Amino acid sequence: MFYGVDLSSRLLLGTARYPSPAVLERAIKASRAEVVTVSLRREGGTGRAGQSFWQFIQSLGLRVLPNTAGCHSVKEAVTTAHMARELFDTPWIKLEVIGDADTLQPDVFGLVEAARILARDGFEVFPYTTEDLVVADRLVEAGCRVLMPWGAPIGSARGLNNVYGLKSLRAHFPDIPLVVDAGLGVPSHAAAAMELGYDAVLLNTAVAEAGDPVEMARAFALAVEAGRAAYLAQPLEPRDMAQPSTPVIGKAVLGGV
């Protein structure tokens, strides 16, 4: 549940970099996603630039999570968020404040400041952050009721770079919805995130730039379901020693007289 909204799908999908709107539509349907992210920058700032894309997204009947992708300062992110709320008519905002141009790592100091401003202005903030516990605490104090730590740098397809950090975050915030956002490359990465107890995953590049985006979207949907089911089934913890699956007590012993 995100800000009081129940969703049946635990896969959130980005809408950038697809070969065509037709492929995007088919991929969304295959993923069974109910939430898609949209960048205000794709809409354009003048005239009717991007209007057809927004109308296309509206026609799919999905919940939109606008983002502040590409913003490198608090002022830019806050301004973009206000414009997005007016355009997309939603208090939801995926907040990105980028601190490094190469890794696209969040500027966590600016992120907390922007989150505090936006929460005070009535936004329901989904912050793209790192797995740092202290930063997460500050974001929750600022008013965020969802946290979105990265798995790896955006578009890197490296999976979960810091499993220990992600597990610690889950343990530290048992009642806060957590979404792994960025860096997932294959469905097994998504399954692994869900097995850690995360509530959802958000991805874009892994599907949009796959050889067959539609089939990859379907694969991720299955992986998310499998990972969640595995988490709920309480999997075995790793062991240092072998343990036979066949009981030895009461086993018949054959031998000569």
Q: Binding site membership for 1-deoxy-D-xylulose 5-phosphate: which residues?
A: 155, 182-183, 204-205
- Cα distance between residue 150 and residue 130, in whole Å: 6
DSSP string, 207-229: HHTSSSHHHHHHHHHHHHHHHHH
Q: Dihedral of CA 96/99/104/105: which sign?
A: negative
- Cα distance between residue 177 and residue 215, in whole Å: 28
Q: Is 94 a catalytic residue?
A: yes
> Are the beta carbons of 111 and 140 closer than 8 angstroms?
no
Q: How far is CA 190 from the centre of its chain?
A: 9
- Cα distance between residue 158 and residue 138, in whole Å: 27
In the chain, the amino acid numbered 191 is A
| Beta-strand pair 11-14/63-67 | unpaired
From 29, 75, 94, 167, active-site residue = 94
Secondary structure E strands in the chain: 11-14, 35-39, 63-67, 92-95, 124-129, 148-149, 179-181, 200-203
Residue 58 CB neighbour total at 10 angstroms: 11
Q: How far is CA 122 from the centre of its chain?
A: 22
Catalytic residues: 94
